[in-house]
Amino acid sequence: MEANGLGSQGFPELKNDTFLRAAWGEDTDYTPVWCMRQAGRYLPEFRETRAAQDFFSTCRSPEACCELTLQPLRRFPLDAAIIFSDILVVPQALGMEVTMVPGKGPSFPEPLREERDLERLRDPATVASELGYVFQAITLTRQRLAGRVPLIGFAGAPWTLMTYMVEGGSSSTMAQAKRWLYQRPQASHQLLRILTDALVPYLVGQVAAGAQIIFAKDGHFALEELAQAGYEVVGLDWTVAPEKARERVGKTVTLQGNLDPCALYASEEEIGRLVQQMLNDFGPQRYIANLGHGLYPDMDPEHVGAFVDAVHRYSRLLRQN
């Protein structure tokens, strides 16, 4: 670290590195916590900031992304920030049109229907330069965080993105995308390769811009494979029993999760009890507390605060005992 308090990349020195130390498997004084979609519509200040422009215009504004990323940290003593963005900026950068339809979610007016539709896609090598606005948002946010907590970057996995691009929006069955796998195996491999070739430089670019960690989520069907894939952290959804997950991945990986987000509809006392149970199940080390999925728009910010405080409080108690 340089003497002026700036780190190796010229960013302010990190003051709270509990999250990173847990990710690396080092001992921590308490369990670090953050929430998926912590920058989200459940916060009135988020809704106010977002009201001015449409969703993807917001994503393209580094200033707006930075503000939305920092909002939950002003309210709650979270141990990490996660950059405000969307996984669908990648298909956009590949030349597909995506709109955010209020009340419905993302929509692709012209999804991929035939093999020849792949010819419409741009060269994946150009994607990282198309997404310079994400890198700018990350760099700006690292500066404004002033070393308070680490900043997480993210991207959608190739299969996740393929389902949106083929289905034309979110889908519970993913039948159209799976149909591609069975009926057009060559084209499916080609599409997944294009997405992989776009995502690798995009993620490398996020780290170069100042993002400090990336993890896999919802992969309980492949826990063993994920544990060996070189990830430091594997996120679990709430359908997985923590003790079983720990048995399957061993001691070499940090687990993250996995309270059912709907538990935040419970009373603050009940949230405290559920957090206590979760912390007991995961154990004190190699663990980052989170929800098993993102926060929903109608959740009470007070209950999010109760969740964060309960994790900090009980995890300190656990270590004392």
Question: Which of the four pLDDT bands, split at 50, 70 and 90, describes residue 1?
Answer: very low
- Among positive and negative, which fits the CA dihedral 16, 230, 241, 281? negative
CA distances from 160 to 7, 94, 273 (A): 35, 15, 34
In contact, 69 and 59? CB cutoff 8 Å = no
- The yes-or-no verdict on residue 4 having pLDDT over 50 is no
pLDDT in tens, 111-130: 999 999 999 999 999 999 99
Write down the pLDDT at residue 3. 35
Write down the pLDDT at residue 92. 98
Annotated catalytic sites, by residue?
A: 37, 41, 50, 86, 164
DSSP character for 169?
Answer: B
Tell me phi and psi for residue 259, to 5 degrees.
-65, 135
Write down the pLDDT at residue 230. 74
- The yes-or-no verdict on residue 228 having pLDDT over 50 is yes
User: Helices 185-209 and 175-183 sit at what angle, rounded to 10 degrees?
Assistant: 120
Higher pLDDT pick, 53 / 262: 262
In contact, 168 and 94? CB cutoff 8 Å = no
Question: Which of the four pLDDT bands, split at 50, 70 and 90, describes residue 259?
Answer: very high
Write down the pLDDT at residue 2. 32
Peptide bond into 290 cis (omega under 30): no
CA nearest neighbour of 290 among 267, 263, 319, 253: 263
pLDDT in tens, 161-199: 999 999 999 999 999 999 999 999 999 999 999 999 999
Residues 6+ apart with CB under 8 A from 136: 62, 209
Q: Tell me the DSSP string of 143-160.
A: HHHTTSS-EE-----HHH
The C-alpha atoms of residue 152 and residue 292 are separated, in whole angstroms, by: 17
Fill in the amino acid letter for 142: R
Residue 41 C-alpha from the chain's centroid = 16
Write down the pLDDT at residue 234. 85
3-12, 105-114, 227-236, 251-260: which is most confident: 105-114
CA distances from 290 to 120, 155, 166, 220, 287 (A): 39, 18, 31, 16, 10
Instruction: Give the whole-number percent of the chain exceeding pLDDT 70.
Output: 93
pLDDT, mean of residues 34-38: 96
